[in-house]
Structure 1
Amino acid sequence: MRDPVVLVLTQEFDVTADNVVAILNERDVTVFRYDTSYFPRNSTLTSKSTDTGWLTTLVDTTHGRRSLRLEEVTSVWYRRPTPFTADPSLEPAHQEFAVKESAHAMGGIFTALPVRWVNLPAVESRAHYKPLQLKVAREVGLRIPKTLITNDPEEVSRFHRECGGAIIYKALNSGLIHQPGGWPRGLLTTALPDIPPDVLPRVRYSPCVFQELIDKAYELRITVIGEKFFAVRVDSRTDDGEPQIDSRNPLGTQRYTRTVLPVEVEKRLRRLMDAFELAYGAIDVVVDRAGEHYFLEVNPAGQFAWLDDQTPGLSLASAMADYLSGLSD
């Protein structure tokens, strides 16, 4: 068995990747961390066919000179890669052409590698669709909140009445809005007991996701790495002691506790992961006051550094290092 060589594709500033790479370095595992925005402007990629196979070398000159023989790689962590960047001296049309060619070259060469992926780009791209996630979740036996996806204001009004006003809005994608000259602003899940008259017509501008508001007791953040499940109970409370609509809200208090999933819930989540062919996923589940589990979504590239910080003994970074280096399935 050959020694592990781990390729980590992510942006320069990524605390989750930092923690895993540090553990791999401590174990003397060869790691090549690479920001895809370096290509093709500050890197070269050469792949040549020979009588005995392919010879492929990636050379990065962004911070000194580093090189990687891709045929030696044993696993790839497709963490949070950034867009390719062409030489700014090129005309815009030529820059666009160079970026598209880069995507085809690097994507085709990398995904042809017979290695362990976390996760394959095509697999991850498909799994990011929240409407598909909800459909598959129901098919594997998971409970989901009543859901409406629409850009028709009249349908929203009807759904609001059906749910007795107990609905929430959340974004279909990341929920990040990039304002010129400012930091990206995230959209939190928002309760809509009343829909202001000036807001409802704006639904027509973009598809929206509305769901029934679950009378929750707490949330679960379930991190799946290979065959292993790591469940954390998240108790997020407002100042008056009520559960927060969105546990990411910095207001109020959050408490994290390692827990164990009911056997049947874990089996169904395993079927969900297998249906999407995901080796890694961060799953959000809400548990109501009667103890029913409702699947919300799975993030194929979700963060976990904050969970390790908040939950003693969880060791997600170590588990990911194990998986990438081939020490666990």
Structure 2
Amino acid sequence: MSTRETAAVLIVSESDDLHAAAMEVTLREQHAIVPLRLDLRDFPREPGSFRLDEAGVERSLAGLDGLDGVRSVWWRRPHPSSVPSGVRADDNAYRQAECDGFVQGLLWSLGAQWVNDPGNDRIAHRKIVQLDTARRAGCAVPETLVTNDPDAARDFIEHRGDRVVFKRTGTSRAEFSETRLVGAADLDRLTGIRWAPTIFQRYIDPECDLRVVWVDGQEWAVRIDSRSGAGRVDSRLDTSVDFAPALLPAAVSKSLATLMGTLGLSFGVLDLRVGLDGEYYFLEVNPQGQFAYLEIKTGLPIFTSLANLLTHGDGSVSGW
């Protein structure tokens, strides 16, 4: 094996994340690598240190040694460090800021390949950034309004000849939030968006949906027959329909490559919708999206592709 293939891999995620567990198995079986696993919630309950002297630097965090040998990091689903609450809110904020500053500085100073770079990952999570970048990259994007102004939202909805969907502007680990069509009852609740800016978007009646796992230029596209199931509005709501490997038109692939390059992402899960007009519409990209079910349903070697990227910097898979 090359130096890259024998280099240590660090996975930063929740301790119970099934994707991280599956990647650990893939790395062990296909590359003879036992990756380091880190859940940032273990700090500061478990100690960490950064030491710099004439001999160089030495890092440890939450009981993990060997961080200085890490050459590749999967920034999968990082939590903030878990700081116990005290009596004063100001003290809590101070301790949280100090712990976050320490953890982020220690990890982000690693001279490693990042999947994804934490700064790029954070910016790319912002859906307005995604939508505008996709537009500039040549992707078709449904007409969209993101606002906390109830009057602007009502005007957008009432003056559209087509139906309109609404969805979250931000992301969090809160309860799953589906994309929904605006109904009469929703119009009566528009004043609530003053405190929660919302995305309103022209509804695209689907021929099908596509979920594309992007691994540093390698596209793993899956066609989802959402038109035939309960997921016609949101394809995530029905996994009982047909899933099949797909190929993207060259022009669409080129636009996605421009989009991901501009966002600085080497990994992401993109949602596209093919309209009845034959257009491929960009909906969003999740830099930490779920994809295990796509491999289970189609047999596409997505975990192998990502493991190859983490170990030797190339997400291609022989024979595919």
After TM superposition, the score normalised by the length of structure 1 is 0.88
Instruction: Name 1:104's counterpart in structure 2.
Output: 101
Pick one of 123, 126, 130 that aligns with 1:126.
Answer: 123
Pick one of 155, 169, 174 that aligns with 2:152.
Answer: 155
Is residue 69 of structure 1 aligned with residue 86 of structure 2? no
Instruction: Name 2:250's counterpart in structure 1.
Output: 263
Q: What CA distance in whole angstroms lies between the structure 2 residues aligned with 1:19 and 1:6?
A: 14
Instruction: Name 2:277's counterpart in structure 1.
Output: 290
Instruction: Name 1:63's counterpart in structure 2.
Output: none
Q: What CA distance in whole angstroms lies between the structure 2 residues aligned with 1:259 and 1:165?
A: 28
Q: How does 1:1-329 map to 2 (within 5 A)?
A: 1=3, 3-26=6-29, 27-42=31-46, 44-60=47-63, 67-87=64-84, 93-174=90-171, 177=174, 184=175, 186-192=176-182, 194=184, 196-237=186-227, 244-250=232-238, 253-312=240-299, 314-326=300-312, 328-329=314-315
Counterpart amino acid of residue 328 in structure 1: D
Give the superposition deviation at 1:254.
2.1
Q: What CA distance in whole angstroms lies between the structure 2 residues aligned with 1:197 and 1:272?
A: 34
Give the superposition deviation at 1:4.
1.6
Task: Say which SS state the counterpart of residue 251 (structure 2) adopts.
Answer: helix
Counterpart amino acid of residue 257 in structure 2: R
Contact kept, 8 Å, 1:238 with 1:253, in 2: the verdict is no
Contact kept, 8 Å, 2:164 with 2:181, in 1: the verdict is yes
Give the superposition deviation at 1:69.
2.1
Q: What CA distance in whole angstroms lies between the structure 1 residues aligned with 2:170 and 2:220?
A: 24
Larger displacement relative to structure 2 (145-154 or 161-170): 161-170
1:76-107 deviation line (CA, Å, top 9, x unaligned) = 11111222123567866544333221211121
Q: What CA distance in whole angstroms lies between the structure 1 residues aligned with 2:12 and 2:172?
A: 23
Contact kept, 8 Å, 1:165 with 1:192, in 2: the verdict is no
Contact kept, 8 Å, 2:208 with 2:225, in 1: the verdict is yes
Unaligned ranges ≥5, structure 1 = 61-66, 178-183
Give the superposition deviation at 1:271.
0.6
Give the superposition deviation at 1:317.
1.1
1:65-84 deviation line (CA, Å, top 9, x unaligned) = xx322220010111112221
Aligned pairs, number:
311
When residues 327 and 201 of structure 1 are mapped into structure 2, their CA distance, relative to the original with a 3 A threshold, is: closer
1:162-198 deviation line (CA, Å, top 9, x unaligned) = 3225111111123765xxxxxx3x2211112545552
When residues 79 and 34 of structure 1 are mapped into structure 2, their CA distance, relative to the original with a 3 A threshold, is: same
Contact kept, 8 Å, 1:237 with 1:244, in 2: the verdict is yes
Give the superposition deviation at 1:327.
5.4
Q: What CA distance in whole angstroms lies between the structure 1 residues aligned with 2:14 and 2:89?
A: 24
Q: What's the RMSD between the two structures over aligned residues?
A: 2.2
Task: Say which SS state the counterpart of residue 291 (structure 1) adopts.
Answer: coil
Q: What CA distance in whole angstroms lies between the structure 2 residues aligned with 1:197 and 1:298?
A: 28
Q: What CA distance in whole angstroms lies between the structure 1 residues aligned with 2:297 and 2:117?
A: 29
Q: What CA distance in whole angstroms lies between the structure 1 residues aligned with 2:186 and 2:44?
A: 49
Contact kept, 8 Å, 1:86 with 1:99, in 2: the verdict is yes
Contact kept, 8 Å, 2:24 with 2:34, in 1: the verdict is no
Q: What CA distance in whole angstroms lies between the structure 1 residues aligned with 2:186 and 2:49?
A: 57
Residue identity (%): 31
Contact kept, 8 Å, 2:206 with 2:232, in 1: the verdict is no
Contact kept, 8 Å, 2:44 with 2:62, in 1: the verdict is no
Which structure has more helix as a fraction of its residues? 2
1:11-35 deviation line (CA, Å, top 9, x unaligned) = 1111111111111122321311111
Any runs of at least 4 consecutive aligned residues in structure 1 with deviations exceeding 6 A, and if so which?
Answer: none
After TM superposition, the score normalised by the length of structure 2 is 0.90
Task: Say which SS state the counterpart of residue 254 (structure 1) adopts.
Answer: coil
When residues 175 and 213 of structure 1 are mapped into structure 2, their CA distance, relative to the original with a 3 A threshold, is: farther
Larger displacement relative to structure 2 (48-57 or 135-144): 48-57
